[in-house]
A = this chain, B = another copy of it.
Amino acid sequence: MTAGSLKEKSLSKSKMRITGTFLDEISHDIPHQNWGEDEWRKDFGAMRAAGIHTVILIRCGHRRWMTFPSKVLQAKADGFEPPVDLVRMFLSLSEEFGMDFYCGTYDSGHPWWEPDYQVVPEVALMREVCDELIDRYGDCPAFKGWYLSQEIAGSNPAAVACYQALGAHLKARIPGSRIMISPGMKGAKAYDANMKKLGKTIAPELHEAEWDEIMKRIQGTVDIIAFQDGHVEIELLPVFLEINNRLARKYGMECWTNSESFDRDMPIDFLPVKWEKLWLKLKAAEKAGITNAITFEFSHFMSPHSMYPSARGLFDRYCEYAGLPARAKDFRLY
């Protein structure tokens, strides 16, 4: 037996490709990499080499943290003035690398799943921040759309009302701009509000009933719906993804898959996922008729520049799968 004889024939004829990634610069759960503009430029280069042409800033502000020096948030949310204007930097890099940029909306941190959640003032502040973003960056050619940052997993009247009101405003301000959401699913590996895992996945029929109702209400407002694929057990994914795709078509939306590149099965969550899992998840999406994938997120979990060295392996395995010539060894941050 020679080592050469070991080479498996590629088991995948999959056409599913990851073409977009979130940018998670204002995070509540991912440690910071402390990159400056030079490091980000290198990482945009690595994204392009991996076939990514869409970047989605997950939120433009979170509680007091801001990605740009927002006068609105400084005045109304006691925002900390940031050391750098990340929105401008990301827009500039998007232009330089031919990327589409989606801008995430403000997340106050208020619990929109609680009964006394006040939709009206919340949306008013979000809208004001979006207006400020449009005034500052609306002319940038890379600015292609919005990401509504409130991530729900099922019935949630407050969040849906927020999507409707904010989405209508944004469509009116910039006709033709596209609006994306990335919900979770009520799967065994989803967290509840206390960061405990649910442990049990919702019945598919119930999932379908809840999302039929939600999508009916947000049709015409939301253009792209990309469910997070890490909450549901891998063996159940085909069923759930087929429902998602069918409902999205019914209501005239595009259904993408947000194929998470971090692992949810380990004592230390949030480390780069095992390639085999990502591969199975991409295959499940393809089987469900979905034709486009994004990921949360490239720079920590799939990048050759990641603070987690195992992301380098994931980058190589993905590029092999996708037939891309890029390899981690050709990239170096320092």
Contact = CB atoms under 8 A, between A and B. Distances in A.
Interface of A: 1-3, 5-8, 11-12, 28-37, 39, 41, 64-65, 78, 80-85, 88-89, 91-93, 95-96, 140, 195, 234-235, 263, 265-276, 279-280, 304, 306-310, 312-314, 316-317, 320, 328-329, 333-334
A34 to B, nearest CB: 3
Nearest to A142: B1
Nearest to A309: B307
A85 B6 contact: yes
A92 B5 CA distance: 9
B317 A8 contact: no
Nearest to A66: B276
Contacts of A96: 3
A236 B83 CA distance: 19
Contacts of A31: 263, 266, 268, 271-272, 274, 310
Given A3-B96, A31-B272, A33-B309, 17 more contacts: A1-B92, A5-B92, A6-B92, A8-B85, A28-B265, A31-B271, A32-B310, A32-B313, A33-B313, A34-B314, A35-B313, A83-B279, A267-B270, A307-B310, A308-B309, A312-B333, A329-B334
A34 B316 contact: yes
A268 B270 contact: yes
Contacts of A83: 8, 11-12, 275-276, 279
Contacts of A273: 32
A39 B35 CA distance: 25
Nearest to A302: B34
Nearest to A32: B274
Task: Identify the 3 closest CB pairs spanning chains A and B, nearest first.
Answer: A34-B313, A32-B274, A307-B310
Contacts of A89: 6
Contacts of A267: 29, 195, 269-270
A85 to B, nearest CB: 6
B234 A80 contact: yes
A45 to B, nearest CB: 13
Nearest to A279: B83
B92 A34 contact: no
B33 A276 contact: no
A66 B118 CA distance: 49
A300 to B, nearest CB: 9
